[in-house]
Amino acid sequence: MLTRLILLLFCLSLAQTSAAWGRQGHLVSCDIAWRLVQENTRNAIRQLLRNSHYRTFAQSCLWADEIRKLRQYRYAAPHHFSNLPRVADTGDALTCPPEGCVTGAILAYLKGLTDWRLGSEQAAVAPPYSNRPVEMLMYLGHFVSDLHQPLHVSPEGTRGGTRDSLRLSEALMSWRKSTLSERRDFRLPWRPQDQDLSQVNLHVFWDHDVVSYPERRSWKKQGQHLYEGISDKQRINWQRDTLATWAMESYRKTATIFHRHNQNQPFQPEELQAETQWTQRRLQQAGVRLAHLLDQTLMADPSP
């Protein structure tokens, strides 16, 4: 009985851990956005965050994961992801079930923050989404990052890889053991010496390991490094894309992840290095696009 209880608690903890990108990814993408937004947008963000305990916008982007266990916020659990048909196109990317999805949440909070900027006392955001302006901002920052995480836009029935295990090479097992011991971002509800390090939950691997391998910078330094690597041409091109395009980018990457996973071969360091480079580009895209949305929503002059 005790063994079953421990296993149940482990599974519940894992579900909470595999939220999205891990702390590092959310902090970095929102830090990039903060560096890119206009000063008027920053002032609006500061005004909204006065009603929170967060000192920076980047840290506020963690809120949506930190409150997931609270009963009053359980309605938002489906908003961290989208499940699309196994053969999907851009039209499917914006279609949500009644309980909502990540693209629906982003659109709702863009509308709600626009209402707030225009002076509406009550944002016109209907359930299943929040209508509190500070929560809309914090959800928006988090969900735009989620949308750029591939396993958060997945084919129906795959559960974003949360029930799949990825085999690791001996070199990656050694690296992951030291990382789990040293990095707060990788703290999972078990000790490294107690788990089978030859395999890892597929979703957790993409949320946590891929984001930072072999990164040793703080989130501020990593955010600055990636921000400085964005060219003007990239920024302009990434801003032109639509929300549906962002979702389909992640969906297509998810397909390649499952294709590789089905080969059932140990994941190698050179593969992880390549995926880390892709993920860093994805964090840059998330930051650029989030900044663009925030400027459009919070900076514009409402007068004709």
**Residue 85 scores a pLDDT above 50:** yes
Name the 3-class secondary structure at 233: helix
Q: Using the 8-state DSSP alphabet, how is residue 215 labeled?
A: -
Q: What is the spatial distance between Cα 27 and Cα 283, in angstroms, rounded to a whole number?
A: 10
Give residue limits of the domains in the chain. 17-298
Q: In this structure, are residues 214 and 175 in contact, taking their beta carbons and an 8 Å threshold? A: yes
Q: What is the spatial distance between Cα 65 and Cα 85, in angstroms, rounded to a whole number?
A: 26
Q: What is the spatial distance between Cα 295 and Cα 297, in angstroms, rounded to a whole number?
A: 5
Terminal Cα-to-Cα distance of the chain (whole angstroms): 68
Q: What is the spatial distance between Cα 271 and Cα 184, in angstroms, rounded to a whole number?
A: 24
Q: What percent of the chain has pLDDT over 70?
A: 82
**Residue 187 scores a pLDDT above 70:** no
In the prediction, which pLDDT does 179 show? 67
Q: Per the omega criterion (within 30 degrees of 0), is the bond before 85 cis?
A: no
- CATH class (in words) of the domain with range 17-298: mainly alpha
Q: 153-155 and 165-167 as β-strands: parallel, antiparallel, unpaired?
A: unpaired
Q: Average pLDDT for residues 293-301, to the nearest whole number?
A: 86
Q: What is the spatial distance between Cα 144 and Cα 246, in angstroms, rounded to a whole number?
A: 9
Higher pLDDT, 88 or 28: 28
- Token couple for 17: 């851990």
